[in-house]
Structure 1
Amino acid sequence: MLLGTYLKLKGYRKIFLQKILFYKFESAIIIIESEWSELIIPKSYKLKVVLGGAQNSGKTSFIDGDTLNDSPIGVSFKPIECYANGLDNYKFIIWDLKDRERFRFLFPYFCRGACAGLLCFDLTNRDSFLELESWIRLFRDNIGDIPIILIGTRYDLDSFKVTEKEIRDFVRTNGLSDFFLSSVYDDIDTKKEVFKLIVESIDPNYPLNNFSLFTPKDFDSDEFKEFVRYFSICPICKKENHYESLKSIYISNEPELILLRQQIYKAIDFSRNFKLNKKRNLKVGIPCCNCYKILFKNK
């Protein structure tokens, strides 16, 4: 877990940046640390979720927005990554079952080991709703009593063939965890709430704050790539920083880490704009876990 940045400057004793604490290390190194310096070991999970529903129920587009990514083996795999409480990490692999007759004999094997099930149906297609009971039996027979969440898609359309009362009654009768209604306009928010419910079901007594959800597309931006490139090496021991730790700092919406991230960007700008002669060297970076523990163990 990385909660500090490192600024090395030969020939200068003190540099002031807003809302940052300073610690002198030897004679020519300044360590910059966020005011929040408690070392907490974050949780990390790798989890499997099985996704079912009738053909053309909108389940594939709900997960990744890509309806062209079909699979010839009866199942496709979609990664979803969630963060909570700053750096707690939940990596989900979604097993999207393809509702084709020739693949159905494989479904019991595909279901094994899942921590939760998602079932999608099209609100404008009643047949997709009526097929849900067979999917529930598939999940329960092969996985057991896992949380199952119902998702009604195409909520932005008007021609509903299923009422909300029917959905509520169905959820209660079949002992499902909950249901959500999704449209193309709010699928990100709905998806976030769906996976937050799954995480809460995994550890119901664990507090869950600042929950966020990301897909691989979120880590394809030029800004993120520049962030990883800039801080890929620990400025102290020169070893490579963990990619996952850098990613956690970049995407976290924990207030303390947001503040730290802002100060990191200020430090980057400072290092680029500060005029130094050739004999002086300015280095801004994020220390690796080991160096951080050594530098701040008494703070």
Structure 2
Amino acid sequence: MTHRVDHEYDYLFKIVLIGDSGVGKSNILSRFTRNEFCLESKSTIGVEFATRTLQIEGKTIKAQIWDTAGQERYRAITSAYYRGAVGALLVYDITKKQTFDNVQRWLRELRDHADSNIVIMLAGNKSDLTHLRAVQLDEAQAMAEKEGLSFLETSALEATNVENAFQTILSEIYQIISKKALAAQEAARASVGAPPTQGTTINVTDSATTSTRRACCST
């Protein structure tokens, strides 16, 4: 996909939602992209995706969120969808310990198939069901810290922290892209013998075109 198609956005970031079936990935997707929640949500078969455009540090970012099926029988299908992803939201259900225990397996799969620089956030969904909690907050925080992940508890039902989760992931991805663009600009200056500059404001849209294409998903 070309950079800034029809001048609608500066960057396109592909984010994958992963985790066991039934943890609420589809409702997190619909809450973030359409501000909707469906109590009768059915299990995703294969993959679905939706998009939302928002502003990050003055740039127009189009987030393309992919909802991968959690059922084992679809794993062979979904593994291909990690390709091109620059961010991942790894979701478990705070009321079901098994979904948290499986986080390590999902992390291994993600790290096997995705780019090594992918931004990952761990999300404990259904925080509205605190009376049924099976995974303690400090336990999840400890795992996230150990694995180098961001962490939030979310509720797709009550729209708690869903926006914050994606804003955090997208902002971190943008920071990585910006740093790559700055490094590329400094390298270009060095190659022509120009002295490096400090505190220079760069045009990320132009200088980051190559790296952005590499980070964007293909459709």
**Aligned residue identity for 2:136:** T
- Whole-Å separation in 2 of the counterparts to 1:54 and 1:175: 21
Q: Could you list the per-position Cα deviations for residues 270-291 of structure 1 after superposition, in whole angstroms to 9, with x for gaps in the alignment?
A: xxxxxxxxxxxxxxxxxxxxxx
Give TM-score scaled by structure 1 length: 0.50
Question: Which of the residues 48, 72, 90 maps onto 2:14?
Answer: 48
Whether the aligned pair in 1 keeps the contact of 2:15 and 2:86 (CA below 8 Å) is yes
Whether the aligned pair in 2 keeps the contact of 1:151 and 1:180 (CA below 8 Å) is yes
Instruction: Give unmatched runs, 5+ long, in structure 2.
Output: 1-6, 31-36, 179-219
Question: Which of the residues 126, 129, 134 maps onto 1:154?
Answer: 126
**Structure ranking higher in helix proportion:** 2
**Aligned residue identity for 1:120:** V
| Aligned residue pair count | 162
SS at match of 1:204: helix
Structure having the higher Rg: 1
Q: Could you list the per-position Cα deviations for residues 47-88 of structure 1 after superposition, in whole angstroms to 9, with x for gaps in the alignment?
A: 11111011110111112034546554x1111212222455x2
RMSD of Structure 2 on Structure 1 (CA): 2.3
2:72 aligns with 101
Change (3 A) 1:61 1:172: same
How far off its partner does 1:183 sit? 2.0
- Whole-Å separation in 2 of the counterparts to 1:197 and 1:162: 23
Structure 1 residue 134 corresponds to structure 2 residue 105? yes
How far off its partner does 1:182 sit? 1.3
2:181 aligns with none
- Whole-Å separation in 1 of the counterparts to 2:113 and 2:23: 22
Structure 1 residue 167 corresponds to structure 2 residue 140? yes
How far off its partner does 1:42 sit? 9.6
**Aligned residue identity for 2:47:** V
190-199 or 125-134: bigger deviation: 190-199
What is the percentage of aligned positions where both structures have the same residue? 28
Whether the aligned pair in 2 keeps the contact of 1:119 and 1:151 (CA below 8 Å) is yes
2:205 aligns with none
Whether the aligned pair in 1 keeps the contact of 2:21 and 2:43 (CA below 8 Å) is no
Q: Could you list the per-position Cα deviations for residues 144-178 of structure 1 after superposition, in whole angstroms to 9, with x for gaps in the alignment?
A: 231110111111111110111101111011121x1
- Whole-Å separation in 2 of the counterparts to 1:201 and 1:61: 23
SS at match of 1:117: strand
Structure 1 residue 90 corresponds to structure 2 residue 56? no
Question: Which of the residues 57, 63, 70 maps onto 2:29?
Answer: 63
Structure 1 runs (4+) deviating above 6 angstroms are none
Instruction: Give unmatched runs, 5+ long, in structure 1.
Output: 1-40, 207-299
Whether the aligned pair in 2 keeps the contact of 1:70 and 1:76 (CA below 8 Å) is no
